[in-house]
Chain A
Amino acid sequence: MIAIVDYGMGNLRSVFNAFKKVSPNQRILVTSDPSLIQAADRVVFPGQGAMPDCLRELSERNLTESVIDAARNKPFLGICIGLQMLNNFSEEGNIKGLEIIDGKVIKFKPKNHFNKVPHMGWNKVHRPKNHFMWNGISNNERFYFVHSYYVQPQNRDLVAGECVYEKPFCCAVSKENIFAVQFHPEKSSQAGLQLLQNFTRWKV
């Protein structure tokens, strides 16, 4: 069973639809029940909106502990703010994150009006290393992004994908059982669906 963590921030229907599409026979749940997150074989941690709001909602729904527990123990996919929240610190609200990944979350500061914020649209993802999650996806494939903040891991070994927007930034992180991406695989057409399908098969 795959649990998609629902903490009331935004719409998880497209994440659910995309998993249904790539894995029609698997049980997929959108849930805010900590016991189901504990019971799940795999956990998806999406997010949209502002990171301080996301963390607050997570905590108010008593989900923080089960998310941290899942991130330490089983295949775990972070998406967008779900990636950002795993870090130690965020410039958005100057707050502490879940401290699962050594890194910080930084705001894009464009030098001119030609690099708009949010970074919105399809951009190329370069892979500094191979990973099971990239199987069947070409290097420099484009994925759909929409975000104003990006993550900067302390250790380059954590970087599983890089993108360029004014300058290179980390757009995918891998650490043991965790794979987390800044882009939206559920909105990235074929390449995104391939990544989600890989997640349903990833053995850690």
Chain B
Amino acid sequence: MLAKRIIPCLDVTNGRVVKGINFVDLIDAGDPVEIAKKYNDQGADELTFLDITASSDNRDLILGIIERVAEQVFIPLTVGGGVRAVNDIRRLLNAGADKVSINTAAINNPSLVSNAAERFGSQCIVVAIDAKKTGNDWEIFTHGGRNPTGLNAISWAKEMVRRGAGELLITSMDKDGTKSGFDNELNAAISSEVDVPIIASGGVGNLDHLVDGIIEGKADAVLAASIFHFGEYTITEAKNYMRQKKIEVR
């Protein structure tokens, strides 16, 4: 049976892997290759690198990190953050990324998703969706949940798949940073409407949240950052716990 995936997410800024809470008090998390190796040894199924660099000037610095990690760690690598054009995607893939995640640029220019999928194949195009509950629906927001777009999250998810997204990364802006679990209702609603795998993100505070994300949220993969970075849990512990709860893991 296909295993449910656990994906640790690493924040990168100005060419460094950092850790911090809500992007403040960022400290160096260590050597990217060493961190990636550690997660790989613990059984991480993939790694996601999120570039949180504020200015576009320093975004290229992530390429060096991806190149170094891809020489040593042989599991799928996804890179997101600040991806705006087909050329950004090409450069990330050439550096060794297997998938690239597109967020705001997909909203500003939906044809970027179609063009990228056409050019590089759907298998490497992840569309990141940041959604917030509004009434009985969910709406897409940008800029860390500050700017509403008027787009319905479920229709948007379907539109992105129609345009060639091979996977969706869904972050609840209500839950992100709260450590109170994923928005499983949102994830299940999207998962039952699209044929591509979905990754649940935003809100993990303990291992039950990962289990709930799979069972209630019908996610194919779960992504978490802080619980792994700050050593609260190892990926091995997360997998053992999921296995106990009868979830198929690697």
Contact = CB atoms under 8 A, between A and B. Distances in A.
Is A bound to B? yes
Interface of A: 10-11, 13-14, 17-18, 20-21, 48-50, 110, 113-114, 116-124, 142, 144-147, 164-165, 186-189, 192-193
Interface of B: 1-5, 40, 45, 70-72, 74-76, 93-96, 98, 120-124, 166-167, 191-197, 218, 220-221, 250
B122 A113 contact: no
17 contacts: A10-B93, A14-B70, A14-B74, A17-B71, A118-B196, A118-B197, A120-B167, A120-B220, A121-B2, A121-B4, A121-B220, A122-B250, A123-B1, A146-B166, A147-B123, A164-B1, A187-B74
Given A18-B74, A146-B166, 5 more contacts: A10-B120, A113-B191, A116-B196, A124-B1, A187-B76
Given A13-B94, A118-B123, A144-B75, A123 B196 contact: no
Contact of A116 (B94, B124, B220): B220
**Chain A binding surface, main DSSP class:** mixed
Nearest to B97: A11
B126 to A, nearest CB: 11
A49 B123 CA distance: 8
A185 B192 CA distance: 31
Contacts of A118: 122-123, 166, 196-197
Given A116-B196, A120-B197, A17 B70 contact: yes
A116 B196 CA distance: 5
Nearest to A165: B2
